[in-house]
Structure 1
Amino acid sequence: MINGAHTIIYASNAEATRAFFRDVLEFPHVDAGDGWLIFKSPPGELAVHPADPQAAGDSELFLMCDDLAATVTDLKAKGVEFTTDISHQGWGLVITLAVPGAGTLSLYQPRHDTAYDLE
């Protein structure tokens, strides 16, 4: 049966993106060979949202945290650039950060029940 999920981020500068996940976010990793790093993801969830037919099949990656303000402060101290301010959504607090060589990611503090720790 299915035992995991493998997420891919396509990057124009894979080395810079890998360094960001390794050195700034400090994600544990293995080297699959020749510097090809595979990162351990935090516990995850999968949500299915309705979409217009043109957007069906698109996907997004949101990183989650327990205290968004504290996490933003920590990441700013490491030089992370945020491309939006924290916004209050009904489902949580969210901000967007720049990932070197790979665009942006959203970071959020959920205000809903989470599924990532279900057994």
Structure 2
Amino acid sequence: MRAILINAAHIILYSTNAEADRVFIRDVLGLTSVDAGDGWLIFKLPPAEVAVHPTDTLSQHELYLMCDDIETTITELAAKDVTIAEPISDRGWGKIASIKLPSGAGLSIYEPRHPTAYNLQE
């Protein structure tokens, strides 16, 4: 069944240093943006997907940026002086690492091994 009412997703990252994290996302990660007013940047993300995992307790939602080659991605980010919070680890379903935003918050990046939905044609 095709969802016809949802046409995009808006993700909010909370930050203790929003301006520095916005600059990082713009300049280091290279995401384009629009100014929603007063310098409030809204970034365009690559295609996205959502998964629902079972749990016994409610928890925070998670955001993972995806890439095709995590070794190259982490090497390029490290060359831009990005702090690697957690080195690459193999989880079976994919390889995952974490970087630090200027605010100190972690941001996970992974290379999936499972089928992905982000490139499905509508």
TM > 0.5: yes
Measured on the aligned residues, the alpha-carbon RMSD in Å equals: 1.0
- 1:72 alignment counterpart: 74
DSSP 3-state at the match of 2:86 = coil
**Residues matched between the structures, number:** 117
TM-score normalised by L of structure 2:
0.92
Question: Does 2:106 align with 1:104?
Answer: yes
Q: Indicate the structure whose relative CO is greater, using CA pairs within 8 Å and at least 6 residues apart.
A: 1
Residue number among 20, 23, 31 corresponding to 1:19 in the alignment:
23
Residue number among 14, 30, 37 corresponding to 1:33 in the alignment:
37
Residue deviations 1:85-112 (CA, integer Å, cap 9, x gap): 1100011000011011251011000001
Q: Contact between 1:10 and 1:102, CA under 8 Å: does it hold in 2? A: no
What letter is aligned with 1:41?
L
Runs of 4+ in 1 over 3 A off after TM superposition: none
- 2:120 alignment counterpart: 118
Stretches of structure 1 that go unaligned for 5 or more consecutive residues are none
**Rounded Cα–Cα distance in structure 2 between residues aligned with 1:101 and 1:20:** 10
**Rounded Cα–Cα distance in structure 2 between residues aligned with 1:14 and 1:112:** 33
TM-score normalised by L of structure 1:
0.94
- Percent of paired sites with the same residue: 55
